[in-house]
Amino acid sequence: MSTPADTSITTKSLLVRGYEVVIGFETHAQLATQSKIFSRAATAFGAEPNTQACAVDLALPGTLPVMNKGAVECAIKLGLALGSTIAPRSIFARKNYFYPDLPKGYQISQFEIPVVQGGSVEFYLGDEKKSVRLVRAHLEEDAGKSLHEDFIGQTGIDLNRAGTPLLEIVTEPDMRSTAEAVAYARELHKIVTWIGICDGNMQEGSFRCDANVSVRKPGAPLGTRREIKNLNSFKFMQQAIDFEIRWQIDEIEDGRAIQQATVLFNPDTGETRAMRSKEDAADYRYFPDPDLPPLVVAPEWVQQVRAAMTELPRVMAARFITAYDLSDYDASALTQSREVASYFEAAAKACGQAKLVGNWIMGEISRRLNTAEQDISACPVKPAQLAQLIGRIHDGTISNNAARQVMDALWADPQSGVDAVIEAKGLRQMNDSSALEKIVDAVLAANPKNVAEYRGGNAKALNALVGQIMKGSQGKANPQQVNEVLRQKLG
Ligand code: ADP
Ligand code: MG
């Protein structure tokens, strides 16, 4: 669990050694359908090789593709979530290339008229609001996979993945730093998982990002880009882009021109390395696939999908701002996932202290979950318990400090109740003013020097007295109340 963006990253000064960085993303989101995009074979991950490839996936002669309606609905959902235009009529095309894992010799994709056009992804980078424009998102099929069996020195082909539905989401070259690129990818990941069109599992390849990176002197035309393929973790993404930026600037400074290329990131060396020179669209000899009619999406269909969709993160954040009086930043942090949002809402409703609930989730709870590398679904303290704890801070029963101790105890043993822990650990604040006055009197009597100093005009001498009183109360006195009583007694 994390806040929307790492605030430690400076976003103000964007130039790197005098160069402006330009980044555009192409992301392949594997759609969470049961069956493939043009066949009835299953898409489940991890099956024995070649057990989930049917005649269509194998491209046997005479087979024909049939569009999976569920995959189209996923595309519509994404378009609605990002404010895009859903094309009423889009076209499937053949992208021709030869590779052993591509039985047909072409990939069915969308070229000239994609189903999703325009829109944007909005997110915070620190406290700065960013908007990255989308060019398009198009439906396509995945290829199979080469398995390099080193122990027999041979390569096998697994066609289970062939025909798995993908949505390729393409941005304008709008990002200006590694931090912004990673924040964009995190936001897009949040959205596709939120609306349920992709499981977001990056290790399994369900969400693969290609980062197009170039650098230029401020005001110059766009530089030549290199495309870093298949970044499958946010950490590698950051390392790869950082390395690529440094490498490109070094090349230019050494007087060499950047060649357009496709590169791979090697996590072991932390370096990017050219894989092949970049193909142009013309190399793929795209043409409309005669086996598939145009994809027609009627407005009624879009309406139906819209009506069945869950509240979107952006909409929910806006509601949190008005309903709970949260800042933009807090609302964005608390809608980082559906789980966090519903945890927040349950606790806020139960205790009526939305701001405090938000602070506790983003602070104490988030910190503990991060340490344990867990997300909020694994949080041992449930929203009702957090609400109860915050209620006890709010009604003055315990201090913030004591509340943190209660949280520790609840974390270790969620069965122990809030009030039971407060009593067992003796954390109740001293709200009984006569008991407090006794302590204050004793401390004043024992520290005549401090009293004289304070009366002589040294305001700092009060701190020493407050410290003594807090100690005398074993930390249970309410500091605010201590100050009041002291000032009153000292005139
Ligand atoms: P292609 O069709 O060759 O893949 P596109 O025009 O579709 O090329 O661009 C692919 C991606 O590269 C897009 O995300 C786009 O924003 C990005 N991009 C294009 N030009 C640049 C550039 N000069 N620097 C960085 N990214 C770029
Ligand atoms: Mg492209």
* Long-range contacts, stretch 53-58, CB < 8 angstroms, 24+ apart: 53/144, 53/159, 53/160, 53/162, 53/163, 56/163, 57/103, 57/159, 57/162, 57/163, 58/103, 58/159, 58/162
Above 60 in pLDDT, residue 181? Answer: yes
The Cα–Cα gap between 101 and 50 comes to: 12
171 close to ligand 1 (CB < 6 Angstrom)? yes
pLDDT at 459: 82
Tens of pLDDT, residues 76-98: 999 999 999 999 999 999 999 99
8 A C-beta contact, residue 344 and residue 361: yes
CA-proximal residue: ligand 1, atom 6 (nearest): 172
Q: Which of 19, 28, 170, 188 should be mutated for ligand 1, with most atoms under 8 A from CB?
A: 170
Please choose, from the candidates 298, 402, 407, the residue with its C-alpha nearest in 3D space to the C-alpha of residue 361. 407
Q: Is 384 in the pocket of ligand 1 (CB under 6 A)?
A: no
In 3D space, the residue among 394, 379, 396 whose CA is nearest the CA of residue 344 turns out to be 379
Across the range 347-357, mean pLDDT stands at 96
Among the residue ranges 158-162, 333-337, 474-478, the one predicted with the least confidence is 474-478
CA–centroid distance, residue 171 to ligand 2 (Å): 10
CA distance 193 to 190: 5
| Helices 69-81, 299-308: inter-axial angle, 10-degree rounding | 70
State the first-to-last Cα distance of the chain, in angstroms, to the nearest integer: 50
Q: 281: Cβ below 6 Å to ligand 1?
A: yes
Tokens 């994404």, located at residue: 78
pLDDT(11) > 50 = no
CA dist 25 → 150, 170, 214, 262, 271 (Å): 33, 6, 12, 13, 19
- The answer to whether the CB of 271 is under 6 A from ligand 1 is no
Distance CA 40, CA 38 (A): 7
Beta strands 128-141 and 116-117, pairing class: antiparallel
What pLDDT does residue 10 have? 42
Distance 212 CA to ligand 2 centre (A): 10
Counting from 1 in the atom list of ligand 1, the atom nearest the Cα of 173 is 16
Whether ligand 1 lies within 6 angstroms of the CB of 358 is answered as: no
Q: Report the pLDDT averaged over residues 180-184.
A: 97
Evaluate: CB of 42 within 6 angstroms of ligand 1: no
pLDDT mean across residues, the chain:
92
Q: What is the DSSP string of 268-313?
A: TTTEEEEEEEPPPGGGGT-EE-TTS--EE--HHHHHHHHHHPPPPH
Pocket test for ligand 1, best of 23, 27, 188, 212 (most atoms within 8 A of CB): 212
Cα–Cα distance between 186 and 137 in angstroms, integer? Answer: 17
Q: Which of 65-74, 186-195, 216-225, 468-477 has the lowest mean pLDDT?
A: 468-477
Q: From the CB of 24, is ligand 1 less than 6 Å away?
A: yes
| Backbone conformation region of residue 181, classed left if phi is above 0, alpha if psi is from -120 to 50, else beta | alpha
Q: How many whole angstroms separate alpha carbon 324 and alpha carbon 147? A: 53
182 in Cβ contact with 126 (< 8 Å): no
Of all ligands present, the nearest one to the C-alpha of 213 is 1
Q: Is 136 left (phi over 0), alpha (psi -120 to 50) or beta?
A: beta
Mean pLDDT of 294-305: 98
Q: Tell how far the Cα of 184 is from the centroid of ligand 2, in angstroms.
A: 18
Residue nearest to atom 7 of ligand 1 (CA): 170
Number of Cβ within 10 Å of residue 429's Cβ equals 21
Residue nearest to atom 17 of ligand 1 (CA): 24
Atom of ligand 1 nearest to the CA of 224: 23
* Helix pair angle (479-490, 461-472), 10° resolution: 120
Does the beta carbon of 68 sit less than 6 angstroms from any atom of ligand 1?
no
Q: What is the pLDDT of residues 382-419, one digit of tens each?
A: 999 999 999 999 988 998 889 999 999 999 998 999 99
Q: What is the mean pLDDT of residues 102-119?
A: 97
CA of 85 to the centre of ligand 1 (A): 21
> What confidence tens digit (pLDDT) does each residue in 12-54 have?
458 999 999 999 999 999 999 999 999 999 999 889 999 999 9
User: CB–CB of 382/414 below 8 Å?
Assistant: yes
Tokens of 54: 């049917």
Q: CA 321, CA 279: separation in Å to the nearest integer? A: 47
Q: Which residue has its alpha carbon closest to ligand 1 atom 11?
A: 24
Q: What are the structural domains of the chain?
A: 11-302 (no CATH), 311-425 (no CATH), 433-490 (1.10.10.410)
**What confidence score (pLDDT) does residue 399 get?**
86
For helices 479-490 and 448-455, give the axis angle rounded to 10 degrees: 70
What is the pTM for the complete model shown? 0.81
Which whole number is the average pLDDT over 164-177? 98
